[in-house]
A and B are shown apart, each in its own frame.
Chain A
Amino acid sequence: MNNRRADVRGHAEGDERFAAVDTHIRKTRHSQDQLIQTLHVAQDIFGHLSHDLMAHVATELRLPPSTVYSVATFYHLFRLDPPGEHQCTVCTGTACFVKGSESIVGKLSAEYGLAPGQTTDDGRLTLRTARCLGSCGLAPVTVLDGRIQAHQTPEGTLEQVGRMLDPHALLPEPADEIAPDDGRRAV
């Protein structure tokens, strides 16, 4: 049966990205216990899991679409909506909470009119919160487009997000990510 599927079929509409998803599915022999791993691959390629994409995965793994949907919605990391152009994630783990991450989220939410998980109407910024990035020694921590930023303040993060969205804007020079005094205080 697998032989018939050996050709790269992709998607009826000719979107080649589906072929990349199919390659993973074939490599893992259409095995249903690979659903989560397959959805990871699909999301990496497409940026989010559209209904069309989930239906495609369901067909290929011979699972009911409801199963795929239920798994995709169970886990926090799967996104059903396309993410914004830029990402700002604020860690709300315990160490960051103790060091005031709530006020960072509050400041960003107010400035951009976003609740965590939402994207601005122009699709430029997605605000997220994360449950501990495991960099507790650097709390509070944010991640801007994949780069971890240590020892954040509400104002500092706001400024950095502004610069991320508009790198050419005339903004004051960035302060050091970690103020030397802070890093070198006595043990």
Chain B
Amino acid sequence: MAGPIDLNEAAERELQARSSRSCRIKVCCSTACLSAGSGATRKAVEDALRARGRDRDCTVVPTGCMGPCSLGPLVRVEPREGPSELYRSVGEADAERIVAAHLDDGPAAGDLALDERLPFFTSQRRVVLANAGRIDPDRIEDYIAEGGYRALEHVLHRMSPSEVIDVVKASGLRGRGGAGFPTGSKWALLAAADSPQKFVIANGDEGDPGAYMDRTVMEDDPHRVLEGLAIAAYATGARQGYIYVRAEYPRAVERLERAIRAARRYRLLGRGILGADFTFPVEIRIGAGAFVCGEETALIASVEGRRGNPSLRPPYPTERGLFGQPSMINNVETLANLPTVILEGPESFRSVGTQTSPGTKVFALAGDLRTTGLIEVPMGITLRRIVEEIGGGVPEGRSFKAAQTGGPSGGCIPARHLDTPVDYESLRSLGSIMGSGGLIVMDDTARMPQVARFFMEFCREESCGKCVPCRVGTVQLYGLLDRICQGRGRPEDLELLSELCTVVRDTSLCGLGQSSPNPVTSTLRYFPQEYLDLVRTREVDRA
């Protein structure tokens, strides 16, 4: 077998190959752009290059998500010299025009150009998504050329496991899956567990409807997740890793499989990683459609091939987890932060974000906004800036009503709280949660009781049925909400609704049940009038 890979040499080789070409044309091939037709755009660009005999001299790079998904297909032209240019809504016909503008000195395709000085771009700060939309996720060489696997090399050769944990603790990184548990502390718990077999698991079971951050990270930069997972394994003493991915994300599975194969070939995973005495194989496990499997004990059951029923904690997975062994589950976005934390150091990481929530957060911005898409912003940014500057505000003629964060476990935030900074604590104090990063904006046509009913229906269907408060409570809550929405509710139903919310929150076994009332309580808190109007109409009818 060949010796360990020399990362510097591999990066140098890749950069040299790049500089021998006069131009790189990047076509966004993420799900959103593909469904907008970027497959045809890519082919049209390739045809246009071939027709000019420039297909060797200019490379077409299929990349991951460039951000403003509602403006796809997106194309970025990067000449060897001079500034790059980003184009939006590039159809097949436009591809020829853009190639002509750059290669034949034809008229500039200014009408398609997207100004990167817009707040959508400048208000963002890309750490986790640094490579998304910039590299070909299927080429490990691309990742290495951007500095990939250097953090892993650094920890393997220059740091002890406990030093790595200290750095992660000092960075203040918190779990990006929603709860915000300090990542370093979780690692220390697993490291302290005394067992010959320990596991680390990457949680890519992104079940929140309206969220696709983790999918994007796995699809657009799979090696970053693998590198983060390997660092976690080294620091905690785990010798086997799993990545649990939703079955709804076949492209992410495919990309990760390819990435794992490539990493093994370069001995960046498997045995004797980077010449160090460190062995770490990684396997993918595919879910089969169950929201509850995002909960860590349910996820463990699912990795073991069983029904995704959560179990009572303690014992925590770090004591007894997968196959009865100490295990740790980290969200893929959390893991994707690690290479940066290691390479740039904890101080640099802390310089972004707030005191209690350092770093950045990726959000899937959707709903009634001018521009929707995937964004990464520093923690502590206000909701107003996300909605008004990045999202461009609610389209004309309508006004902002509420922003929903945290999916079915989160809540709705009304206009008067738009200046709240986005961090774990502030969102919780408003009755919502950070969640995994879905952020859906609703305009004044949204009816909040209906929104609450929508989420309760979701929780009712996704309840695993193990504990009574959740299994029965969500059905009853849905029934009440449905009655109210249909105008058949009684005024006393509102009291019953809040009472039942408290019971379900306080007595359910796992996070799914405990947080399922959040959409109801938050809409009751901020939009009580809408509920009152619905039950009052009923009173008027009766009279």
Give the B-binding residues of A (Cβ under 8 A): 32-37, 39-40, 67, 70-71, 74-78, 92-95, 97-99, 130-139, 141, 147-150, 177-178, 180, 183-187
- Given contact pairs A35-B306, A134-B31, A77 touches B440 in the complex (Cβ within 8 A): no
| Residue contact B308 to A132, C-beta cutoff 8 Å | no
Taking the closest CB of chain B, its distance from the CB of A181, in whole angstroms, is 10
3 nearest CB pairs, A to B: A137-B69, A134-B212, A75-B288
Closest to A186 in B: B370
| Residue contact B286 to A76, C-beta cutoff 8 Å | no
| Residue contact B368 to A39, C-beta cutoff 8 Å | no
- Given contact pairs A37-B286, A148-B31, A187-B370, A138 touches B306 in the complex (Cβ within 8 A): no
| Residue contact B288 to A94, C-beta cutoff 8 Å | no
Residues of A within 8 A of B68 (CB): 137, 187
Q: Known pairs A99-B368, A177-B36; list 5 more (Cβ under 8 Å).
A: A97-B209, A132-B208, A136-B69, A137-B72, A187-B71
| Residue contact B440 to A98, C-beta cutoff 8 Å | yes
0 or 1 for each of B25-52: is its CB under 8 Å from A? (1 = yes): 0000001101111000000000000000
Residues of A within 8 A of B36 (CB): 138, 150, 177-178, 183
| Residue contact A134 to B211, C-beta cutoff 8 Å | yes
What would be 6 A-B contacts, judged by CB atoms less than 8 Å apart? A36-B285, A40-B286, A74-B464, A76-B289, A139-B366, A180-B91
- Given contact pairs A70-B307, A71-B307, A136-B372, A183 touches B210 in the complex (Cβ within 8 A): no
Partner among A78, A130, A186 whose Cβ is within 8 Å of the Cβ of B248:
A130
| Residue contact A94 to B305, C-beta cutoff 8 Å | no
| Residue contact B290 to A74, C-beta cutoff 8 Å | yes
Taking the closest CB of chain B, its distance from the CB of A98, in whole angstroms, is 5
A139-B368 Cα distance, complex, nearest whole Å? 10
Taking the closest CB of chain B, its distance from the CB of A22, in whole angstroms, is 17
Closest to A136 in B: B366
Taking the closest CB of chain A, its distance from the CB of B374, in whole angstroms, is 8
Interface flag for B183 (CB, 8 Å): no
Residues of B within 8 A of A141 (CB): 35
0 or 1 for each of B208-246: is its CB under 8 Å from A? (1 = yes): 111110010000000000000000000000000000000
Residues of A within 8 A of B404 (CB): 94
| Residue contact B70 to A95, C-beta cutoff 8 Å | no
Residues of B within 8 A of A149 (CB): 35
Interface size of B by CB at 8 A reads: 65
Residues of A within 8 A of B120 (CB): 187
| Residue contact B302 to A36, C-beta cutoff 8 Å | yes
| Residue contact A32 to B370, C-beta cutoff 8 Å | no
| Residue contact B211 to A98, C-beta cutoff 8 Å | no
A185-B71 Cα distance, complex, nearest whole Å? 8
| Residue contact B71 to A71, C-beta cutoff 8 Å | no
Partner among A40, A97, A150 whose Cβ is within 8 Å of the Cβ of B35:
A150
| Residue contact A36 to B288, C-beta cutoff 8 Å | yes
Closest to A133 in B: B248
Residues of A within 8 A of B35 (CB): 135, 138, 141, 147-150, 177
Residues of B within 8 A of A93 (CB): 209-210
> Which residues B414-456 have CB closer than 8 A to chain A?
438, 440, 442, 446, 451, 454-455
0 or 1 for each of B341-370: is its CB under 8 Å from A? (1 = yes): 000000000000000000000001011101
- Given contact pairs A75-B308, A184-B89, A131 touches B370 in the complex (Cβ within 8 A): no
Residues of A within 8 A of B70 (CB): 137-138, 183
Residues of A within 8 A of B442 (CB): 98
Interface flag for B180 (CB, 8 Å): no
Closest to A182 in B: B70
Closest to A38 in B: B305
A33-B199 Cα distance, complex, nearest whole Å? 15
Residues of A within 8 A of B304 (CB): 33
Residues of B within 8 A of A37 (CB): 285-286, 305
- Given contact pairs A39-B288, A97-B454, A77 touches B373 in the complex (Cβ within 8 A): no
A70-B285 Cα distance, complex, nearest whole Å? 19
A40-B115 Cα distance, complex, nearest whole Å? 45
| Residue contact A178 to B31, C-beta cutoff 8 Å | no
Partner among A35, A98, A177, A180 whose Cβ is within 8 Å of the Cβ of B305:
A35
Residues of B within 8 A of A139 (CB): 366-367
Residues of A within 8 A of B370 (CB): 185-187
| Residue contact A137 to B210, C-beta cutoff 8 Å | no
| Residue contact A132 to B210, C-beta cutoff 8 Å | yes
Residues of A within 8 A of B31 (CB): 133-135, 148
Closest to A77 in B: B289
Taking the closest CB of chain A, its distance from the CB of B372, in whole angstroms, is 4
Interface flag for B291 (CB, 8 Å): yes
